């Protein structure tokens, strides 16, 4: 009996978390007048709202922009981040400890303090309204470097020594020997980086004005609050659904990595 009550509570809470998303999906398919209803089904479901979204705003272009920016940043964070993580974990060089301290320091800085100077730097460099402004500040992540470092510390020294005796360079060792053993951390970092960049909206709002360069969250935000349209409900829900879907899809395949990665990013605090 007590157990049953526990399941009941857990299920009700699950509904509280899932129902709004289902309502959003249903609302994006329902005719405008039926959206406020609580039911998730209508007899006249259609893709009309999505048709409107694609017709009125350059959402396809924004989707590609978001993909391009998030992928570039993910690639860089994984490749260069693992290089730094490897150097910190396995190489002796003067300044190793100092660099590690700097990286920890970077993670502690509240972003409020660097945001405006980063923006003015983009202006000085003439990078506003270019992909560079979106990508450059996300090319590295202190937290990812720490994750790589922790993981690489556990790799047996004998493997690395053997490769060195064979005359491998450190880069070869990293990419040929260490990488294949490090799939979990690579996937975790890749997923966290992609998700963070995909969802980022404040920075794009600051550095991009040109509609064709806007990322998806930015375009959707500006369109839904800008009064540019008579902001129909179905339209907004369709745009929000399009924005949420890629991450939800990735989440349903890789949820373990999402949860463990974000929980560990919590523990850094």
Partner 1 sequence: MKTWTITALRLKGRDKGSYWLVLPYVLFFVAFVAYPLLFSLILVFHRWNVVSPMEWVGLKNFVRLLQDPQFFRSIVNTLIFLSIHIPLQIVIALCLALLLNARIRGRGFFRAVYFLPVVVSGVAVTLLWQQLYSYDYGVLNTILRGLGLSGLPWLIDRTLAMPSIALMATWKNVGIYIVLFLAGLQNINRELYEAASIDGAGPGRQFLHITLPQLSPATLVVVVLSTIGGFSLFIEPYVLTGGGPMQSTLSGMLYIYNQAFYFNHMGYAATLGVVYALLIFGVVLLQRKVLGSEAGE
Task: Report the residue from 199, 211, 229, 232 that binds partner 1 according to the rule CB under 8 A.
Answer: 199
Minimal distance, residue 221 CB to partner 1, in Å: 5
Distances in Å between the Cα of 260 and the Cα atoms of 85, 97, 184, 254 are: 19, 27, 11, 10
Q: Which is nearer to partner 1, 181 or 250 (CB)?
A: 250
Stretch that binds partner 1, among 45-53, 67-75, 146-154, 236-244 (CB under 8 A): 236-244
- Among positions 12, 113, 154, 165, the unique one binding partner 1 when judged by CB under 8 A: 113
- Closer of 46 and 120 to partner 1 (Cβ): 120
Question: Alpha helices of 91-232 — where are they, by DSSP H?
Answer: 96-108, 112-125, 131-135, 142-152, 157-165, 170-172, 183-199, 202-207, 216-225
Stretch that binds partner 1, among 45-53, 56-64, 96-104, 182-190 (CB under 8 A): 96-104
CB of 181 to partner 1, least distance (A): 18
- CA distance linking residue 52 with residue 229, whole number of Å: 11
Burial group, residue 238, by CB count within 10 angstroms (0-12, 13-18, 19+): buried
Among 206, 211, 229, 232, binds partner 1 (CB under 8 A): 206
111 alpha carbon, distance to own chain's centre: 17
Task: Let me know: does 261 contact 44? Beta carbons within 8 Å.
Answer: no
Which position among 26, 53, 135, 136 is part of the footprint of partner 1 (CB under 8 A)?
136
Site for partner 1 in 162-181 (CB under 8 A): 169-171, 174
Q: Count CB neighbours of 4 within 10 A.
A: 8
Which residues between 245 and 264 bind partner 1 (CB under 8 A)?
247-248, 251, 255, 258-259, 262-263
- Report if residue 204 touches partner 1, rule: CB under 8 A: no
CB 157 within 8 A of CB 92: no
Query: Residues 64 to 93: which contact partner 1 by CB under 8 A?
Result: 80-81, 83-84, 86-88, 90-93
* 100, two tokens: 């590690």
Which residues 212-231 are close enough to bind partner 1 by CB under 8 A? 217, 220-221, 224-225
Q: Tell me the site size for partner 1, rule CB under 8 A.
A: 89
In the list 1, 4, 6, 180, the residue contacting partner 1 (rule: CB under 8 A) is 6
Whichever of 11 and 47 has its CB closer to partner 1, that residue is: 11
Structure tokens at 78: 């994984």
Considering only residues 13 to 42 of the shown chain, the ones binding partner 1 according to CB under 8 A are 13-14, 16-18, 20-21, 23-24, 27, 35-38
Biggest CA–CA distance in the chain, Å, is 73
- Alpha-helix residue ranges (DSSP H) falling in 30-141: 48-56, 59-90, 96-108, 112-125, 131-135
């Amino acid at each position: 009996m007590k157990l049953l009550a526990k399941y009941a509570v857990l299920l009700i809470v699950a509904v509280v978390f899932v129902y709004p998303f289902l309502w959003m999906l249903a609302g994006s398919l329902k005719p405008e007048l039926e959206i406020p209803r609580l039911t998730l089904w209508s007899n006249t479901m259609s893709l009309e709202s999505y048709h409107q979204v694609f017709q009125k705003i350059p959402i396809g272009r924004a989707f590609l922009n978001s993909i391009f920016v998030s992928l570039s940043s993910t690639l860089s964070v994984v490749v260069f981040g693992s290089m730094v993580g490897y150097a910190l974990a396995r190489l002796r060089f003067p300044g190793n400890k100092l660099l590690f301290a700097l990286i920890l320091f970077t993670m502690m800085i509240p972003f409020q303090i660097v945001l405006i100077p980063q923006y003015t730097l983009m202006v000085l460099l003439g990078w506003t309204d270019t992909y560079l402004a979106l990508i450059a500040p996300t090319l590295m992540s202190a937290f990812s470097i720490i994750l790589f470092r922790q993981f690489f510390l556990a790799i047996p020294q004998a493997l690395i020594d053997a490769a060195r005796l064979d005359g491998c360079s450190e880069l070869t060792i990293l990419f040929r020997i260490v990488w294949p053993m490090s799939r979990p951390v690579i996937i975790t970092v890749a997923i966290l980086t992609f998700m963070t960049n995909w969802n980022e909206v404040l920075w794009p709002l600051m550095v991009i004005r040109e509609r064709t360069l806007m990322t998806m969250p930015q375009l959707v935000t500006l369109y839904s609050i800008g009064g540019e349209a008579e902001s129909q409900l179905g339209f907004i829900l369709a745009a929000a659904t399009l924005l949420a879907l890629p991450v939800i899809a990735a989440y349903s395949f890789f949820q373990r990595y999402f949860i463990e990665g974000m929980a560990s990013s919590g523990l850094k605090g």
